[in-house]
Structure 1
């Protein structure tokens, strides 16, 4: 089988709408993503960050662009659709990447309060990291 596009989802929350809090959460999310996925940044097609409407202190993509090997990755920030009662101060990401191994195991990092968004994946990720 040849190359295929795959995707990684992830999310985290921040304690407050500040540059420092958002920077800390984005770095933590991307550290977790990179630690558990064999991701070659040359194979990344694009990364979309979405934030809830209560976060506007800084763009998550600007933070990602500061990281080694992320400067040439196409990055986009968007505002998450607001749904009454949804998780506040949340940052989500969606990464599309090319891979010659379509069966590659993917770790989807859901951190902090965002673990509640996908409890099914949170349990699966715990099993994956304990291997």
Structure 2
């Protein structure tokens, strides 16, 4: 394949991967408080604090942990970081497939076997 065709395919695959990340990020932005509650729940349960993230901001209970958000734009950046991280993690099957579909045609048969073995062992470990 000529270089221009490789670059065109790379551009298309990158666009698909980035689009998947953006779509999931936009959806996650609407649910960032729920996602933050889900992530902070184990820590709060371990210290005996029954509240969620939204209630923690209003609570003044001395026995509870509090998320400290200091700065003018910190609440916005927290929401953005949570949404973007969620987008990258949940869209991983799409962008990893796009990466594989771009790289796989250039690999030899034995290199593909090693890659399949890596994915075969790595996927269950990722889920765990």
TM-score (norm 1): 0.25
Q: Could you say which structure has the higher strand fraction? A: 1
The alignment's TM-score, normalised by the length of structure 2, stands at 0.26
Q: Which protein has the larger Cα radius of gyration, Structure 1 or Structure 2?
A: 2
Choose between structure 1 and 2 for higher RCO, CA contacts under 8 A separated by at least 6 residues: 1
